[in-house]
Structures are given as structure tokens and as C-alpha cells.
Structure 1
Amino acid sequence: MYVDFLVKESSVFTVDPVSSYISLYGTDHFSKPDQTLRLIAKQLLSVCATLGEDPIIRYQVTENDDPDDHRPRAPPATRQLANILQNEIDDFCRLNRNFPPPRNPPQPRATLLIVDRSLDVNAPILHEFTYQAMINDLLPVEDTENGTGIKYSYSFNQADGSIGEKEVILDEDDEVYKSIRHLHIADCTDRLIEEFNKFLEENKTAVQSGDRSGPPKDSAKSLKDMKEMLGNLPQFQDMKAKYSAHLSIAQECLSIFEKHKLNSVGNLEQNIATGETPDGETPKTIVLDMVPLLDDPYVSPADKARLLMLYIISKENGIFEDDKHKLLEHAKLKGEFRDAVNNLNLLGVQITKQRRKAGEKSSRKRKDRKRQQDETPYELSRYIPQLKKVMDAQLSNTLEASQFAFTRQSDMDPADDGGVPSSNPGIPQSGVSLRTTKPTWSKKSTAVPGGGGQSRASGAKLIVFVLGSLSYSEIRSVYEVADMYNRDVYIGTTDIMRPTKFVEETGQLRLKTPTIKSLIPAYVPPSPPPTSSKVSSLLPHMPHMNNNSSSHLSLSNLSIRSGSGSNPTPESNKNVDDKADKKKKKGLKKLFG
């Protein structure tokens, strides 16, 4: 099987090396500019081969110019990777004449979009308040050994009043987790009660026969009811354990939410990232609201760094150097968190600007922002990842070719991809602004009810690859877009980063790229069989050998050499083999007449 990637979820995969964020965006990448990209391309070829796709490859067109860095720069990584991958796929197709395999019914070619982290620097920094994202952001979780889930240990009250410890694994084998992982935390408890009542209905007879505490209840109306009913279901230990675990996890997330003042932090982050308040007004007190949070000891250093980074990102022309220094002093950031703020320019963000001279006019353009309140009902979840807008534009055939180029001009020709009709689907009729255009997926009605887990064969697949890192909000967006368009959509990266890790690694971008061992161990050839005295002792008894000369025993293709003196010459070996063959033929002749 040609599988050189790791499947994290049903629609999510990762490739090596996990150090590529630092190696691609850091200052150390000039020494070996395309070594990482060639490794990634080989693994993306494996993804395409597994899916049976020779995809149309498009890549984000990026301006890779840093005004503070005057060294010669390689072409943008997205273009390099796209071209290397195109060559790999072309070679693979030449060697495999039957690739891609025929499909019945026929299906159009997939599209593979390659983007880098500069597309959206906000997404990996923002607090995300959906269940899966909160768990990975706020709780001390660890990846499972196979990399397809996470482990979390929590405390709970036992029947005898003591405190117990339990470890739970959250992955796609947990149907309860799958049903709530992309929900806003405010909806999780309602969904848990809803799923629990559905379970009760499906197992009504067994539940009623096992409830000895009084008249059986038909359903849980609250978390309190749910806890009481879980205690009376000893015959459903696995299901009881799952619901109990998710109740504990959700409550722990909400506890941290309150303790670290994430309501205030999250609301300010949303105002900064979206450029508007929940009422749709332009926020005018960002700094006044931010300084008390930077001074607050209950706000963690990582959260303070995230606030400052978002603020600088929102100022497209940067902030004044002295203002940056004052904000850093308020936050009292040290080490990697302080360096992360100063390293934003390596992700294409302008950090500082010069003060204008007297009489000089500002060149700043007024941003045209459009409200998105109808699509984001929660004030703390108003920001829509830019990648979601890109996927929406691709699936609706409106992705601007000047922003996402093709590796082949021929792939721009009109083709029926099973999506929204267009007079020329390959070349968009109108561009999509990644900053101001309202996404259109909320208007789509192509999803089949209840078809979230079914194969989406109504159109071409979409494969998205993010160079460097991927956030949980972007993962959630993939599932949402796939459901809205009734398509197979997959997303991959070199590393799925939790926000704190993203900030820490951004702080390391000016350091030497760390050497990280591959998950796949290097091939070690088997050692030759040991030469033992037993083998040597048998040699004198061989009919064609003696003790005084070097000897050679040929058993099919296995050779064992022994004896003293110099190694036998090819001629002597040939003579010995010829004698052995003659004896063998002579013996066969006697045996068979």
C-alpha cells in the first residue's frame, strides 16, 4: 500500500516533517530551501495515489518580500511545492499507465489547493469556543500513540465520596464526541442531553427494567436529571462512562473559561479580528480595553501574547515602535512569547511604522467591512476563517486565478466539476476578496439531509494543504463546507497546532531549525548470520571439502564461507561448484536409472 501520511480524522491528514513551520517560515530556511518541500511533495503524491486522483493543482500566490530582509529570496513556498508535486504526479502517471483508475459513474478530477500560513494569521491565534477546539486549547491533553485522538485525565467523585482519576480517549471511535466536537460550547450540554434521551428511547425496555430507584423517567430535562439517570444504568457501563466523561470535560472547560476571563479576552479578540463590535460598529476603544487585560494576573502570558499579536495583525501598516514597547511592558512578556510578537514579520505581517512628518497625508485605506452576524449567532465566534472563504469560492467556481494560480494552463480550460454552473468554471467570472466578501455557503442547499457520513459523489473532490500549521477552526470549516456542498473535502498539513504551541513556535522562528526524528524508523538491513563453531565442525564431513583449504558451500542463493587462509577465487569456486553438480547428476542418474 502506498500510504506515506497519517490520517488524523476522517477528513484530516498530516505529513512529515512536523518541524516544517520553523523550517519554512524561519530565518534558517535559506540553507536548504526546498528539502522540506520535496519531502512534503512525495507524501502528497501518496495522498493523491491513495485517493486515485490526478488533481488540478492550484496554489496561493504570495508576495514573499520582507522590507527588513535584503537577502535573495527563493520563489514562494506554495509555488515551489505546487511545481514539485506536479512533476511527481506526472512521473507517477507515466510509470502507472492505468492511473488514475476509471470510475463508474465517471467523476471529474479533484482540485488540490496549496496555501500557506500567511493566508490567515488570525485563525491559529484566536480563542475558538467550539468543543474540540476548547479541549485542545485549554486542557492538558496529549496525543494518543497512534496519533488519531487525544488523551485526557480528569477527576470525579466516586460513590463512596472519594476522588477518582480516569483517563479518557477522544477520537472517532467515540460517537458522542463526534456528534458534539464542532458545536459551540453553549450548545454542547443541550446536545449531550438530546443524544442521551435518544439513547434512552432506543434502549427503553432495558433502561426501565434496570431502574430500581423509583418510577422510571422517560427523558432527562437537565444535566442534573442526566447525572441521576446515569447513576441508575449499571448495565450500560461504556455509554455511562462516555457521557460522564464529556460532562466532566465540558464543565472543566467552562471553569477555565471563567477563571482566565476568556469572556472579556474572547470578545476583544473578535472585535480586533473582525474589525467590528457585536452591534456592527467600528470598535474605538481597542487599546483602552486591552491594557487592563495585559495587566491582569489572571490572564495567562500566552493569552496576552495572542491579544498583542492579533492587535498588530489588525493594523495593516503596523504600529509605532514606542507604542509596541509600551504594550509589551504592560504584558510583561518574556522569552518565546515576546519573540513571537517580534517575529510576526516573518509571516508577512508589518509590525512597526514610522511617524508621519508634518503635513504628510496618510496612505491608509478605509476598510469596507460587511456584517456576518446572520452566520455567526455567538458574539465570541464572529470570525470566519479565511480558508473557509477560499474553499467556498473554489466550490462555487469564483476563486480568482490571480490569487490562486494553476500549475498548468490547460487546467484553466472549462470543465464540468459537478459544482455550481458557470459559463467558464476554470476561470472565475469575478474575484473573491479574502477580507471583505461575505461567504456564500449559507445560501447553498445542495447538502443531502443526514448525508454527513455518506460518500459525496456529486462532484469533484477538494483537497486542501496548508503549509506549516493548521488550526481547529479551519478543520471545523472543512466539515461544514463539505456538508453544505455535498462534496468530499480533505485537509492536510504538517502539524495541527494548538494555539499556545503556535505562539511558542512563532517565537522560535529566528532560531536554528530543530532536527526532529521521523515517525518512520530508518531501514536497517538484517545482520548476517553469525559464524559458529558448529558450522565449521560440519565442514570436514562435506564430501567436497577438506580442512586445509578455504571452502565454499552453496545452498541455493545462500553462501557460507569458512576456513583459514585467503578467500577463494572465482575460478576455484567454479571448479568446486562444477564438481558438486557432476556428483549431483551422477547420484540422480543412479536413483532414476
Structure 2
Amino acid sequence: MVSAIQEQRDIILDTIKSITRGDWKVLVIDESSKKIIDNVVKEDDILNENIANIERIEEKRERNPDMDAIYILSPQLHIVDCLMADFERRRYRKTFLVWTALLDPQMRRRIDTSRQAKEQLAGFETLSIDYFPRESHLITFKDPWSFPILYHPACNNLVRDHMQILAQKITGICVSLGEYPKVRYYRPRNPTHEASVLCGHLARFVQEELDAYAQWNQNFPPPTSRPPGVLVITDRSMDLVAPVIHEFTYQAMAHDLLPIKETDKVYYKTVVNEGGADQQEKEMEIGEKDKIWVENRHRHMKDTIEKLMSDFQKFIDENPHFTNSEQDATSLNAIKDMLAGLPQFQELKEAYSLHLNMAQECMNIFQHHKLPDIASVEQSLATGLDEDFRKPKNLADQIVRLLDDESIGPSDRLRLIMLYIIFRDGIIMEDIQRLLAHASLPPQDAEVLTNLELLGAHTTKLLKDPKRTTQSLFPAKTAPTAQSEEYALSRFEPMLKLMLEDIAKGALDQTTFPYVKPPLDNSEELAAQSQASLRSAKPTWAKNRTSTVENRQRIIVFMAGGATYSESRACYEISQSRSRDVFLATSHMLTPAFYVRQVSDLSKDRRRLDLPMDRPKPKAPAHLFERNDPRPAPPPAGLGSARMGLSQSKLNPGVGFPKGGALPKSPGAPSPPGKSPSYNPSPYNPNPYATPQPVPPTAGLAALNMSSGGGRPITPNGTNGDGSGSKGKLEKKNKYAKDDGVEKKKRGFFGSKK
């Protein structure tokens, strides 16, 4: 199966390779583009493509007029200011411009009309890579601000521009995957909330962006034997249960219960070499490189622990001379003791220690906080059926008993009340207050409950209101599927999974999930039902599983307002069961605690939200406008000098600072930008809106980029910088030109796509 991580990595490296063509060049990036690149590409892989040094455009750099530069930049106003300052200083010989997303026409016009830019510009290209692949089939925008922008009543004036940015990012994902999909969207039945039109508007924006890209890029979509993919635009209101309910698969459970730290990477602090002289606490990365994590993250916790034990027992059997044969690896503690005696396998020890500690800590919380009792009631509320698949009885009494239990934490009590209100389709306000009193929760938590109205829930009603008849989005399963008590606590399936199953069967309701451009016939459904591609001439018996996956229709789902780990798991499960690629894209990932906090923020004053667009705009640093930076000595001629620069850049990949300390500021230079406050999505940060401590300019970019998309969104009536009036859509790629003006053709971006 294809990997979104590998696709974006190939795009970046192929672009650099097609520009360097064996010649040494400098790579210039900015803070935002660095995060995109670092997410999928190692620095050494970039340097190996004839990149002599990697520099940050915002930082102090020496002039290097004897070397060409490749700029990979985000389309932000202050970054364009930095770029124009470089053109004015003639910092490099020739400049190849690569943008991570579409440049605003006004910014483009500013570059096109600059005499210095025309003299130095050797290439101009727009890549559609303004997104962050988190897993092979999970993509995020790292933008938790999207939730309040879309659902907070005071942010209505921001919604259109934000949707335009989202549409361009979603289009970028489709372009990177080589897909020109049919676009469908979620249209709620009998909606009462203002954001019910969100998916329809966003889907039309995406369709316009896709059509514009196809118009300006004749090689899109690339030739393929697959049927056209399908893109479904949905939002958080489709499933209000999934973000709140307790999930007992490894990844979702760990993110719910453990203090996992998320910055540019995902970390968990654990003790390695426990019990030994070299015992230490260490932050370990959890990601695609961790094979144990990738193999087990979607398993039920019970199965995860069994798999960890069986894998370790297999290792012991294969390496008997390293272990004590009298020890029995049948418990987590026994395995941890045996790991302490394996100094020869440090990496293996640390990996197993990490996941054994995480699994054990999850199970400790599971037992001590009575999660089995909570989950039993939650499953009845979420599915409308008890463990015997009958209508549940005495739920209110069970809930009150749990709310009175001191061993159950406040957050779990609030989540239980939220599920009960959703199950009942609203209750009278007096009952909400009674439930909060039983739970010993503050009265202001009632705002969290009533804010669910903004997502389409019915939370309150009057005593004499008639009972509403509600129809489930998908038919409830009435036959038992759980074979044991452990799985009985996991009966609930996210709406996203049920939707994907219907898409795979070609049976998704076109009333609730209409097309932006309705098909003229039912070929889409027939293609979905087909076991192989309708375009494929190869007989079915001649195909292996890999070729079958490659020829199946791809499904891309965008979940506006954030997605859960259970929904991510559902995509992988459908991918596996239906032998096709299913990608989930979203603004950000939700844990239950973070979701509850974001819902509570919907009633706060907008000024307290500290939205990125409400902050002072960043400015180009003052030092870029200084006139007296020294010119470096010319490098020795020949390849040897380039190799010397390469080795130095590996030792110090940062930029070259002027010697003798900082340069004085020029009188009229703009002031450098201040650090923006960081919105930390971790629920364990007591003050997520606090301003972070300043960091050195060369330090790692740990804070998430909260910008919704960098540059200003394209207005429908915008024009390109050349005055061609292309309505602000994606421009066609320029070809790179040699210094003598002879055009040098660049290999087609999707030429190698299959």
C-alpha cells in the first residue's frame, strides 16, 4: 500500500534533485517549511542531493554570491519580505523558488515586478505539500485552531477564508497522491446548528481547487489503472460520541490515559534499564519507525499485551544463551526483570521497556479508576443496546451510582454526562444541574454540555416538549459481534467506519452524502463493488494482493474539526478488509480531554482564545535589511570545495553567522517579530495558552505551527501576478531556465506516478 509519508518525501527530494542536477546549491527554508520537511525527510538525505548547506531565511546569513540557492518557502507575507530582502542584497547567484502552497496573487505580483527578482530568478514552482503526514494513511494539518474557527459563534467572519485554506491543503493531499477524486460531503438530516452547511461549502471549495489545478496542469491526474478515487468531506458533528467514549485499542487508550507529549514528534517519558546501574528516565519517540508500535497500535489492549509477551517469548527461545531458562515470561513484571539482564540488546530493551511500561500503566488506570464499569454503561449509551443487544434498562440509576463513586475522576464523570445527554437527545436543565451535583462538578461545566448544541446535539429541552423521533445515520447492528467480556466493552463503532463500509460496498446514501458533481450514471457504485479495477485488463487470477490494492479505488476522508484515534483505526481496518487505500486527513488529532476543552472554549470570549489571526502579524527580522554584512572569501574551485562545504554543513547544519558578534541595527529597520504563544494540545498542560520561554534561533522547532495555512487565502476575484486574471487559482509550473536564457525542461512532477 502507498504511504503518504513516502509520497511527500519523494516529492521534496525529487524537486531538489531536479534543480541541483549534480551542481552544489544552498537550500534556504523558513520556520514553517522546515517543519514540513523535517516531518518526512532526514537532513542527511537532503545534503546527499548536492545541497552544500541548509539555511533559515529568518536568520543571519553571510552573502554567498558565487552559489545558487533553492528556496523552499511557505507563502506568508513576512517570508516574502525576507525573500525580497535577499533579492535586494543579491545574497546568492541564482534563485530557484519553490513554494509549499499557493502564493497569494498580490505577493506573486510583487515578485514578478521586482527588477532584482527578475535578474536572479532561475525557477518558480509551487508544490502542494502544506500538510503533515503523521502515519502512512493519517494526515493532519497540525491546526487545532480550526475547531474554534469553524464552530465558535464569534468566529463567523473567519470561516470563509479558513475554508479556502483548508480546501487548498486538501487539494494538495489529492495532488500528492495523484488523485482527482469525486467529491462527496456530509449533509446532516434535519439540522438545527449553524455549522450544518460547513461540509457542503468546504466540498465546493475543494472541487473548485481541484478543477483549477487540473485546468492548469495538463499532466494531472497521472495515468493509472485505478478508478477515480472518492473524497468525502465530513465534520465533527457527524459523530459526537467517538471523541468522548473510552476506547480500549492500544493507540487510542494510550493517548487517552497517558501523559503522551506531542510537539513536532510524539514522545512518552519512560524508565529504561530499570533496576540496573544505568537506569534513567528517557523521552522516547513513538512513531512509524517504531515497529512494535506500528504492529500493535490498533490491537485491543488485551491482544497487545498477549502479542508483546508472545514476541518476547519467541526472542527468548531464539536466544537461550542470553536468558535464564528458569524464568517464565508469562507476566509483564517477569518480562521487565528479564529485560534488565540483556545488555547486548539495548535498542530492543528500550523498545520493549517503552511499550511494556505503557501497557502496564494503561491497565493500572483501567483497574484503579473503574473503567470497566464506566465502559459498560458508555457502550449502552453509545449503541442504544446493552451487552445482550437489548434495549438497556435503569441507565439513569447506573449513571448516578458511577457519578457518586469517588474512585472515578472528574473528567470521566463529565464524559459520562455528555454521553447520557446525547443518548437522551437532551434533558431538562434541572436534570443537568442534578447530574453535575452528583458528580461534584462545578456549575460552569454546564457550559461544556450546552456548547454541544453548536455541533448539532440537542442538550436541553422543556419538560413538556414532545419526544423527537430521531433516525440513526447508519442502521444499528442488532447481532452480537463480541465474543468475550473484554470485547463487549468495545461494541461501539465510529460512524466513520460505517460510512467507509457503505462506500466500499457502493451503497452510501446519496441524500445524506451527495456528490458536488452528481455522476451521470451509477458507474461509481459499480466500480466500488467491483473486485478489481474496471480499467484493468489483467485477469484476476494473475494478480497478487499488492496489485489488487493498487488497482482498487482509493478513499480519502477529511474530518473537519479534528479526528479521533478510533476513526484513524477504522480507516486502517477498512483498508485491510477491503484491500484498498483509505486515507484520513484532518486539522488535528483529538484526545477526549482535549476535545472536552475545545468544546468548553466555544462559549469563551474570542479575545481569550488568542487565535493566530488575532495576534500581531509576524515581521521580517531587522537584520535582513542591514547593509554591512561581510562578504565571505570565495570557496576553492572544483568539487573539493563543495565536498568541504558539505562536511561542514553536516557538522553544523545551521546558518553561517557573521564573525565578530551581532551586527548593529539599521535606523529604519523593522523590529523583529515576537514569539507567538503556543497552543499546546496536550490536556496535561495546566495553562495551554501560556507564552513559551524564548529559545535560541538555531534550536529545534518544538512548538506546533498554529498558522492555519500561512499566507492570506486566495480571493475568488484575485488575479495572478502577471495580470492574467486566473481567479487566484493554482498556477502552472514554470520551467527552469539556464543562465543564458535557454529553457531547461523539468521532469514532469507526476511522470513517475503509477
Q: TM-score, with normalisation over the residues of structure 1?
A: 0.75
Is 1:334–2:442 an aligned residue pair?
yes
Equivalent residue for 2:489, pick from 363, 380, 383: 380
Is 1:398–2:507 an aligned residue pair?
yes
- Contact preservation (8 Å) 1:112, 1:464: yes
| Residue in 2 that maps onto 1:459 | 552
| Residue in 2 that maps onto 1:24 | 150
Is 1:309–2:425 an aligned residue pair?
no
Distance 2:237 2:564 in 1: 13
Residues 95 and 311 of structure 1: CA distance in aligned 2, closer, same or farther (over 3 Å) = same
Is 1:504–2:611 an aligned residue pair?
no
Is 1:167–2:283 an aligned residue pair?
yes
Residues 376 and 311 of structure 1: CA distance in aligned 2, closer, same or farther (over 3 Å) = farther
Distance 2:152 2:529 in 1: 40
| Residue in 1 that maps onto 2:239 | 120
Q: CA deviation at 1:391?
A: 0.5
Residues 402 and 292 of structure 1: CA distance in aligned 2, closer, same or farther (over 3 Å) = same
Distance 2:570 2:236 in 1: 16
| Residue in 2 that maps onto 1:88 | 209
| Residue in 2 that maps onto 1:186 | 302
- Contact preservation (8 Å) 1:339, 1:508: no
Q: Deviations over 1:491-543 (max 9, x none)?
A: 0111101101101110111224534449xx97848834515999xxxxxxxxx
Q: CA deviation at 1:417?
A: 6.6
Is 1:527–2:648 an aligned residue pair?
no
- 1:114 aligns to what SS in structure 2? strand
- 1:122 aligns to what SS in structure 2? coil
Equivalent residue for 2:270, pick from 141, 149, 154: 154
Is 1:484–2:577 an aligned residue pair?
yes
Residues 239 and 336 of structure 1: CA distance in aligned 2, closer, same or farther (over 3 Å) = farther
Letter in 2 for 1:178: V
Distance 1:391 1:454 in 2: 21
| Residue in 1 that maps onto 2:354 | 245
Q: Deviations over 1:151-203 (max 9, x none)?
A: 111347843589742322211111111111111111121100222234456xx
| Residue in 2 that maps onto 1:541 | none
Is 1:37–2:180 an aligned residue pair?
no
Q: Deviations over 1:533-571 (max 9, x none)?
A: 99xxxxxxxxxxxxxxxxxxxxxxxxxxxxxxxxxxxxx
Distance 1:471 1:339 in 2: 22
- 2:435 aligns to what SS in structure 1? helix
Q: CA deviation at 1:458?
A: 3.3
Runs of at least 5 residues in structure 1 that lack an aligned partner in the other structure: 68-72, 426-445, 535-593
| Residue in 2 that maps onto 1:139 | 258
Residues 412 and 77 of structure 1: CA distance in aligned 2, closer, same or farther (over 3 Å) = farther
Equivalent residue for 1:76, pick from 182, 197, 201: 197
Is 1:102–2:200 an aligned residue pair?
no
Distance 2:173 2:400 in 1: 47
Residues 465 and 366 of structure 1: CA distance in aligned 2, closer, same or farther (over 3 Å) = closer
- 2:170 aligns to what SS in structure 1? helix
Letter in 2 for 1:35: D
Is 1:57–2:164 an aligned residue pair?
no
- TM alignment of 1:397-416, pairs within 5 A: 397-410=506-519, 413-415=522-524
Q: Deviations over 1:188-234 (max 9, x none)?
A: 21100222234456xx3xx24444x5x588x9454455335433432
Distance 2:247 2:627 in 1: 60
Residues 83 and 335 of structure 1: CA distance in aligned 2, closer, same or farther (over 3 Å) = farther
**RMSD (Å), alpha carbons:** 3.3
Q: CA deviation at 1:416?
A: 7.3
- Contact preservation (8 Å) 2:481, 2:491: no
Distance 1:5 1:325 in 2: 43
Distance 1:5 1:533 in 2: 37
- 2:624 aligns to what SS in structure 1? coil
Q: CA deviation at 1:114?
A: 0.6
Is 1:322–2:439 an aligned residue pair?
no
Letter in 2 for 1:475: S
Q: CA deviation at 1:261?
A: 1.4
Runs of at least 5 residues in structure 2 that lack an aligned partner in the other structure: 1-126, 535-539, 632-754
Letter in 1 for 2:306: D
| Residue in 2 that maps onto 1:4 | 130
| Residue in 2 that maps onto 1:548 | none
Q: CA deviation at 1:51?
A: 0.5
Q: CA deviation at 1:112?
A: 0.3
Q: CA deviation at 1:337?
A: 3.8
Letter in 1 for 2:399: M
Q: Deviations over 1:366-389 (max 9, x none)?
A: 988542422575121110111100
Distance 1:409 1:13 in 2: 27
| Residue in 1 that maps onto 2:105 | none
| Residue in 1 that maps onto 2:405 | 296
| Residue in 2 that maps onto 1:130 | 249
- Contact preservation (8 Å) 1:293, 1:299: yes
Q: TM-score, with normalisation over the residues of structure 2?
A: 0.60
Distance 1:125 1:533 in 2: 58
| Residue in 1 that maps onto 2:313 | 197
Distance 1:298 1:42 in 2: 47
